[in-house]
Structure 1
Amino acid sequence: MTQSGCLFYLEVILDKYCPLYQKEKDKKWCKPASTDPIYRKYCQIHTLSRIMRVNEYTADGHLDSRKQLFNKWVLDIGDDNVPAVCKDGEEEATWIEIPEQFIVKSEKPPVDAIVDTIFPNFILRHEDEDYLRQRAILTPQNDDADLINKHMFKKLQGQTMTYKSSDEICNGSTDAIEQQQSYPVE
């Protein structure tokens, strides 16, 4: 969620649950929450300054400048510092250009290219915990993650096992509503 989206959500919460905020806000024209003195009086602005999903360090403890650049770029997207464009027929600009240094180029199918780039020598090193710990393929959609996982498992020898899990809360639980808020659906 971008900062403006967070501020809007915060203002909705303040309007609903904070009578003092409601009373003070009614005295003046509605302003964006980030510039509203009432907002500043009761809240602090926090901004994301570090991406936790991509470790900026190599296995031997040195900073990896490529990973730092990637993290900065992702933060810039979230802060609306990367220009976006509209495609034909769209009203909102949501398309951004990915810098060349972050694109995996190959003649192979995309999943093969990504896996081979992120996990070179996977078949030989799939049991090496340090090797696996240093690598990850991030994707925003579960379908893509499933496709990549299937591709990786096909490379492994031996019998596979499936472990069952659940991704929703039982509605018969005593605190079902509170639990559903604690475990949002992806």
Structure 2
Amino acid sequence: MEKTFGGKTVLLGGDFWQTLPVVPKGSREDVGGASINMSPIWDHCHVFVLKQNMRIKDSSSFREWVLAIIDGKLPTSRLEEEEESSWIKIPYDLLIPPGENPIQNIVASTYPNLLTKYID
């Protein structure tokens, strides 16, 4: 009898809302239908749910914005050549301002005080 993944344990991590598959020119329904939880192998998976999202724990405006996206409560817009409205405006206070060293800006924003707190 064949076993899923050849009987090997496979760990898949992530938030399916943030790691959706790419379906060229696909609609929202097409993207949702291509996600792993719609696959025949999904019946062979054991799902473990984290109780606390550490990435959004301390940022209430970001948390509320992400939850509003997931719930479909934010207005969307479309580009002229697109049929479906799927663009969401990111609030200015959630953007990292551009600068001379964009990588350093991202690291500094994501990990404030990294050099003084990396041991903690």
TM-score (norm 1): 0.34
* Higher Cα Rg, which structure: 1
Hey, which of these two has a bigger chunk of helix by percent?
1
